[in-house]
Each structure stands twice: as structure tokens, then as C-alpha cells.
Amino acid sequence: MGELEPFQNAVSRIDYPMAIVTAAAGDERSGCLVGFHTQCSIDPARFLVCISRRNHTFAVAARSEHLAVHFLDRSDYPLSLLFGEQSGDTVDKFARCSWRAELGVPVLTGARAWFVGRVLDRVSFGDHVGHLLEPVTGRVADEELDQLAFQDVKTMQPGHPG
């Protein structure tokens, strides 16, 4: 058994919520499914979202002033497949879903809860880069959110493996 095997086995059992992050820079749009994200300050309000360096969205997010974070309901599973299994290198994901621009960033209109945040900082965390966000605007629907979580999507085949 390798040194990291117990760690990897433990974290593979955690059922943390999944989200879709969207970005825009110039005429380019991108978005991806993420599991590494969290509120990291109450006052001032701050949120950290981490994007894989291998992901198409990484390059767009690196040039984006704002990012949109969409919290997913289990009914959003088809949307999670689009943003989790397809790569923006080969597919225009936004041609396959409903969205509108908010502060220049694509916001998925079907998401029950989302916010757009101003990027305050970017920090390297190994194979992911954390984007520290200051929430600027957002929306939460009246109905409850039955969060889509990691265990719901862990059999997906990512658009950028490994």
C-alpha cells in the first residue's frame, strides 16, 4: 500500500457538493464542473474556487475579472455531465444550454443558486489554482436545493482525464 493510498481512499468517500464555474475573457467563454470550492471568510465575504490546470476553463479563468459559481441540484445532473465530461477544447458547451451574461460572465439560467464574484487573487495549490472571489451579485431560487454531490458524479469520465 502506497503512502497516499489511505488519504486517497478517505477523500474518495467524502460527499462534498459539486458546482459549475464559468468564465469569460475577451470573446472566449468556458466552464467546468468543480468539487474544490468553499466559503473562506464571512466578513468580508469571500469564496475560494479551485480549477485544474489541465482544464480548458483554467486558461480563460486566468484572464477573467469575474467568475460565476453555480451550485447544483440533483436535477442538474445532465448539466453536470455537459460541464464535467465535455472539454471546451472541442465543444461549445454554451451552445448546448441556456445562459445569459452577467458582468461579462456566462450565468447558467437553469441553476437554482449562483453568484458572480470578482477575482481578488489567484494562488497555486499544486495541480489546481485557487481563485479568491468577492461576491458581487447572485440569485437563489425559493425552492430547496437538493445538492448534487461528488458521490453522484464520481463515475463521470472527465473531459481532461487525470
pLDDT of residue 132: 98
Bridging pattern class, strands 46-52 and 28-34: unpaired
Domain containing residue 43: CATH number: 2.30.110.10
Q: Is residue 162 part of a domain?
A: no
Q: Which cell goes with 156?
A: 463521470
pLDDT of residue 2: 73
Looking at the structure of the chain, the number of domains it has is 1
Residue 15 pLDDT grade (very low, low, confident, very high; cuts 50, 70, 90): confident
Q: Is residue 6 part of a domain?
A: no
pLDDT of residue 161: 53
